[in-house]
Amino acid sequence: MAAPISAAANSLLTLLRQTTIDDHEEVLKAANAALKKTKSDLEAQHVKAVALLNLERYDDVLKVFEDGGDRLKERAKLEYAYALYRAGHQVEAVKIAEAVDGGRGVRHVLAQAAYRTENFEQAAEVYRQLSGRQAAVEDEENDLRINSGAVDAQLEWTGLGHLAQKKKPAREDMEAFETAYNAACGSISRGEFGQGEILLKRAKDLCNALEDLTEAEKKAELLPIIVQQVYVLIQLGKVDEAEELCINIPFAEIRELSTRHIGQVNSLSASKLHTNPYLSHRLFHSTPKRDKTDQHFKFQANILHQDEYVMDLLSKKYAGVANSTAAYISEHPSPTTSPDVNSVAVLNAAAHAHNATGKAALKEIIPLLEKRPNDIGLLLTITNLYILTNNHAAAVNLLETFFKRLEQSATLSDLDARFAPGLIGTLVSLYALQGRKSQSKSELAKAASYWRHKSKNPPKALMRAAGTALLESQNPEDLASAGEIFAALYEQDHSDRAAIAGLVAAHAITDPSKLNPELVGSLPPVSRLVADIDAAALEEAGVAVPPAAPVPESKKRSAMGKTKPVKAKRIRKSHMPSDFDPNKKMDPERWLPMRDRSYYKPKGRKGKQKLAGLTQGGAVSEEKEKAVSEPRASGGGGGAAKKKKGKGRGGKW
């Protein structure tokens, strides 16, 4: 049996039915008047909560629900969840919305609250369910398209792009500035900055063309788009355009403080005027403090956190940065592949090295690795410094030692770090610099094997690199492994042309009978691949000499096979004799003594005898032989030929 309605509530309902009150303030007054008579009137509390929601007084709404207790919360779950979401209590809003069965309104609240808690997978799933059903209210379909585009962009930023519904903007996304802006954000999150720049310009044009918005409203919508455009221009290297754009941005008029702060930070990056690091440090911290309803997403906060450390380093606050970054690192387990933790580790190393580089930095940073041996950010910093100092062997040894230590661990997190694609790519690149192809192939094969057994969706880039390396081997086992890798990639995505090409190549070598005609037919024909290659011109040009095997200057040949003429060396006039004749051939033995020259002929009897005595291997005269064979007086011992010196102070020497 339904609970009886009180007299105050009955009068309030009668009043609301008999009037056409559009002013929410008037509705609020009527509800307050009813509650003065009966404080626990449930109907009046509900009406008051809805009126406050329309007035965007969300903290007051929550106070009404607290005063109304569980009865009001149970009756108005949708309003309660929405109030929690708008007041910044997104986690509680998700719990309330999940407990409500049915209702498109509460599903919208759930999706938006999940979005703010950065549970983008849940938000994407809810919007997918809502899009699959018929819209209940006007413009709901447009709202779903806008919000779904925002979720897709966030999935890309967080590394979950494979869950995004759209990878490329559709035609309907170009019809409204909100959808065009979200499509631009999606392109930017994938690193497609050129496409992002085009879509941002499209969003600005669509916004300026709206007739139902005032100039002030257009300006409020355009400012976040312009802030995003500055970031894109900086990434494209168009710093001058970004700086010019920043000059005209009224940062104080940006309503969202989170967006204002990002705009000011990007303006510092684009500006050539703020060369004083201490002034830049003050401008960086000039944004007012944000409330809990206007916070950055985690990936934004991490970058801004690193920017703050960079500003401190430029201001020579080395000790402060070293201490704060060390505390942050100690709060997280190691080894970790978290980008923010490893980036902070790099800044910690910079603080200890006082922004030095090269060998001076290594001297200060290497002792830190003894204290934090599993710090990947620190490890990669030292590796990079070794590479910059051309000490590739030390860099390779450092990574190999780290890998061996992690392999001995039985912890899954340690093994995940051991086979992290970024670390594997670093070591393989170093192997390539040293020409160690077998080690590169072995490392890639081990990593591919690990991730194939570890995850249903192994990293594609790593798997492709491993499969390509194994295809170059002559070992049947390696070729079979390459076929398995490309087969797994093909199962994940049947449109992956790299996987198809690898699978066809592996089967063509190992077992041509397994070749699928459909797969072979899906590959581009050879005629199209070589259509722009002029084989006759290549054959006529000849084969170029590789730079790895330098050829002497006199033997270098051009692509046409002609010998390059050797340029004569110019001799200074100061080094030439006064009677030098350039037309006369110079004596090639002019640097040898006269007696050593091939054409030397001494004059006279004495000269001929001297020449014969100097000739190596010539006949020796009897006089010379006798002189050599006679004993000579020795300089030591008591010989009779040695005379005594006179005694006294005046002895003869």
- Retrieve residue 107's tokens: 């599903």
Domains 176-279 and 440-525 share a fold: yes
Q: Which residues contact 631 (CB under 8 A, 6 or more apart)?
A: none
Q: Which two tokens mark 553?
A: 């200057």
Q: Which of 300, 142, 145 is nearest to 227 (CA)?
A: 300
Q: Tell me, what DSSP letter sits at residue 563?
A: B
Strand partners, 522: none
Bridge partners, residue 557, by sequence: 563
Q: How many angstroms separate the CA atoms of 472 and 97, rounded?
A: 55
How high is the pLDDT of residue 649?
A: 40
- Select 176-279's CATH number: 1.10.1060, 1.25.40, 2.60.60, 1.10.150: 1.25.40
pLDDT at 629 over 50: no
Report the C-alpha gap between 227 and 267 in whole angstroms. Answer: 9
Confidence (pLDDT) at 82 = 94
| Segment 112-133 mean pLDDT | 91
Cβ 103 vs Cβ 110: under 8 Å: no
Most confident range (mean pLDDT) of 377-381, 434-438, 610-614 is 377-381
From 28-42, 305-319, 391-405, 420-434, the region with the lowest mean pLDDT: 28-42
645 pLDDT higher than 50: no
Q: Tell me, what's the pLDDT at 182?
A: 94
The pLDDT of residue 178 is 93
- Residue 547's pLDDT is 61
Q: Where are the domains of the chain?
A: 176-279, 296-418, 440-525
448 near 485, Cβ under 8 Å? yes
What's the chain's average pLDDT?
83
pLDDT for 456 equals 81
Q: Does CATH number 3.30.70 belong to domain 440-525?
A: no
CB of 82 closer than 8 Å to CB of 111: no
Place of tokens 């030292």: 382
Q: Which tokens sit at 501? A: 């090409």
CA distances from 424 to 175, 366, 438, 439 (A): 44, 22, 14, 11
